[in-house]
A and B are shown apart, each in its own frame.
Chain A
């Protein structure tokens, strides 16, 4: 129930008011003078005060002034007050009272109906005023919240009216706007500012205002003022305030996604680097790729990068590869060249990572000449051995890059200032170290790039592990293949040896069986011939003499056969093949002259000595020379030459004789194969045996009617003769 305080000195007023107003539903309290009224205001807290003007003591005006001005009544000073004035009071008083804040006045005499109306009005006004204040406060609060939100949002927010004029802008958006306009004013019209004409501000706002649809773009924003390039995600939406749906303005949200993009780009770069490294075929290629990735502008962007590989045995780090300029002039030139090449990092790596474009560069030469002992006491080496990154900060080492507490003295030539060194390692091995810096770049090393380099180095180490494993598999494969081939060869040799052994055994047996009767026949014939001679009956056609000659021939064939079956291990002595050939030619000279043969020697000067069995080699060469002699007619040519070929001495015996038919060329080294009328077919077989026992090889090249070339290769460093042992060592036992 609303409470009304009536302050009046007339009792009748109280009775009347109480009688009427209580019926109207109000609660009436009474005071009979100003002072009492003020006190009751404090105690009763009425909703409205009816205050008589004319009272003894304080009049109504004074009471009201006391109420408004005395701090004692501060809590109730806003209580609505209706002044009751006497008839005939002047208008100036009324005006003054109203000005002081009195809500209304009633001039006596007034009807009670009138009083009730005024009181009701007062209450309505008062309620409205209160509601209004609450609303105002609510509006202020929400506006404060919005302002807070707008200003503290992590994104740029800008609002315009329908004309394009900025109505709200937060500091992030303002920064971008100022960068775009070059001005610092926020009170501008986006559609009317010339500086903004070609920017996303104009494009977005005009799009939204004219079409009423949202506008969303990712824009690359270059701020010349801050020399910063950033990637922005910009979103303009229409603002509709009324119920009509008409566009009243725009709201723009500007999000800087540069870092996000950068991170994404870095991930992409790393994945590209990793992928290309997986394709590498050898460790040098991996290292070259790592360096190229480290220094490529599209990659990690260091100016110089160098790799030192760890030689665990010698306990050193040895410079292996480096990429980068060796002077600021060179740096400028390279960057200029590369700035024209706007290609993706993986293409770039494939293009430059493989061929080592900069390999001959001065820096590379310099680095290759550097070895660092790992017992060095400097931080770089210590960190390396602990498999840790080491970063030397410019401020610490600017004037002390020769300070050996940071980097070893061996690196002084590289003039390292601020640099980072990252170990290349896998769990089972410490491969080396990559050192990178921004020399000539004048840009500080960025932590994110260092992390990326570390990741790239890890990828490289992985690739190296993979390659090492791969190489091991390849090696094992090669070994297996070699073993298989050797096995095959041995098998073939065994088959050959077995065949030879069988032949040899049979031949030896037959030879021995024949020898005894031959000796008997020949011996007796010889005796008969000698007797005839002694008796002076010497005749050219003495049958006994013919028998003797034929037996001698048969015996020499037998000797050859037996010789083949028991070719001895060579008795090696140090000697010179040229000397042997000289002797041989001297020995054959009369025979050549007799037949009109032209024999030419072409012996290499300073032919090194080697180990060989002079008798056996002589036998081989004699055999070859005699074969040649038999294959050429009078006036034919025979050549003998020596040549040092690698670690082999090559002896060539050539002739311009009738050559060897292709059909039999493969068989000429087989025992008992012969094209001659009186040959045993053992000469070349024995020769090959001898050469094989020397660890050498004998080959033939022949053209029918043109001539033949036999080549004998003797190793200077004699291999173990066992390699070519064909088995008949046991033949002697077999013959027994």
Chain B
């Protein structure tokens, strides 16, 4: 299930979006990328991704609000909050997510978490 899994990547910054898409594609995932909430929800409905990676600080609605909407559509999809900020780690909304990862150039934690969550499902 882990290989060829479909991953929703929500990231408003283009360079990062490209980076993650490349890296995750390298690992054999099918990556659907979105730069805002509206795009993300459309992908959820259309492609039924196996996992979602959400940046928190987005232009427009933030990742936490988006997370709520995604759960409303599909409460089985594992969600990783992926952010430059550490401060929401203990936020009660942050805790709803399956994982909370602070962005780093070293993506091994992200990769490991994706793998684990996909395997779990």
Distance to closest chain A CB from B51 (angstroms): 19
Point out the residue from B19, B86, B104 that lies within 8 Å of A524, measured CB to CB.
B19
Residues of A with C-beta under 8 A to B16: 516, 519-520, 523
- Minimal Cβ-Cβ distance residue in A for B17: A520
Report the interface size class on chain A: 20 to 34
The residue on A at minimum CB distance from B105 is A522
Contact A520 B19 (CB under 8 A): yes
Nearest-neighbour CB distance to chain A for B87, whole angstroms, equals: 5
A517 to chain B: which residues have CB within 8 Å?
15
Residue of B nearest to A527 (CB): B23
Interface string of B102-117 (1 = CB under 8 A from A): 0111110000000000
A641, CB-defined interface residue at 8 Å: no
* Whole-angstrom distance between the Cβ of B21 and the nearest chain A Cβ: 11
At the interface, yes or no: B13 with Cβ under 8 Å from chain A? yes
| A208 contacts chain B at the CB level, 8 A cutoff | no
Choose, from A255-263, A485-493, A547-555, A665-673, the stretch at the interface: A547-555
Question: Given the complex, which residues of B lie within 8 Å of A520, measured CB to CB?
Answer: 13, 15-16, 19
| A512, A527, A552: the one within 8 Å of B26 (CB) | A527
Residues of chain A within 8 A of B20, CB atoms compared: 523
Interface pair A516/B13, CB less than 8 Å apart: yes
Cβ of A562 under 8 Å from chain B: yes
Residues of A within 8 A of B105 (CB): 518-519, 521-523, 525-526, 548, 551-552, 555
A526–B22 Cα distance when bound, in Å, is 12
A515 adjacent to chain B (CB < 8 Å): yes
A598 at the interface (CB under 8 A from B): no
Asked whether any CB of chain B lies closer than 8 Å to the CB of A468, the reply is: no
Contact assessment for B103 and A566 in the assembled complex, using a CB-CB cutoff below 8 Å: no
Is there contact, CB below 8 Å, between A515 and B22?
A: no
Cβ-based interface call for A13 (8 A): no
Known contacts A520-B16, A524-B19: A562-B86 contact under CB 8 Å: yes
Distance from A495 Cβ to chain B, minimum over Cβ atoms (Å):
25
Of B19, B85, B103, B104, the contact of A735 (CB 8 Å cutoff): B85
A451 within 8 A of B: no
Q: Is A604 an interface residue (CB 8 A)?
A: no
Interface status of A315 (Cβ within 8 A of chain B): no
Interface string of A65-92 (1 = CB under 8 A from B): 0000000000000000000000000000
Q: Is A555 a contact of B104 with CB atoms below 8 Å?
A: yes
A732 at the interface (CB under 8 A from B): yes
Between B16, B23, B103, the greatest number of chain A beta carbons within 10 A of the residue's beta carbon is seen for B103
Q: Complex: how many Å from CA A83 to CA B105?
A: 178
Q: Which of A512, A523, A548, A555 is close to B19, meaning CB atoms less than 8 Å apart?
A: A523
Residue B84, interface by CB 8 Å? yes
A514-561 interface (Cβ within 8 A of B): 515-527, 548, 551-552, 555
CA distance A524 to B19 in the complex (A): 7
Residues of A near B23 (CB, < 8 A) are 523, 527
Residues of chain B within 8 A (CB-CB) of A732 are 87
| CB nearest to A547 among chain B residues | B105
User: For the complex, what is the distance from the CA of A516 to the CA of B15, rounded to whole Å?
Assistant: 9
- Please give, as numbers and ranges, the residues of chain B lying within 8 Å of A527 by CB-CB distance: 19, 22-23, 26
Nearest 4 Cβ contacts at the A-B interface: A522-B105, A515-B84, A520-B15, A523-B19
Point out residues on A near B: beta carbons under 8 Å: 512, 515-527, 548, 551-552, 555, 562, 566, 732, 735-736
Query: Could you pull out 10 A-B pairs where Cβ atoms are within 8 angstroms?
Result: A512-B84, A512-B85, A515-B84, A516-B13, A516-B16, A516-B84, A520-B19, A522-B104, A523-B23, A736-B87
Given A555-B105, A562-B86, 15 additional A-B pairs, CB 8 A: A517-B15, A518-B105, A519-B19, A519-B103, A519-B104, A520-B13, A523-B16, A523-B105, A523-B107, A527-B23, A552-B105, A552-B106, A555-B104, A566-B87, A732-B87
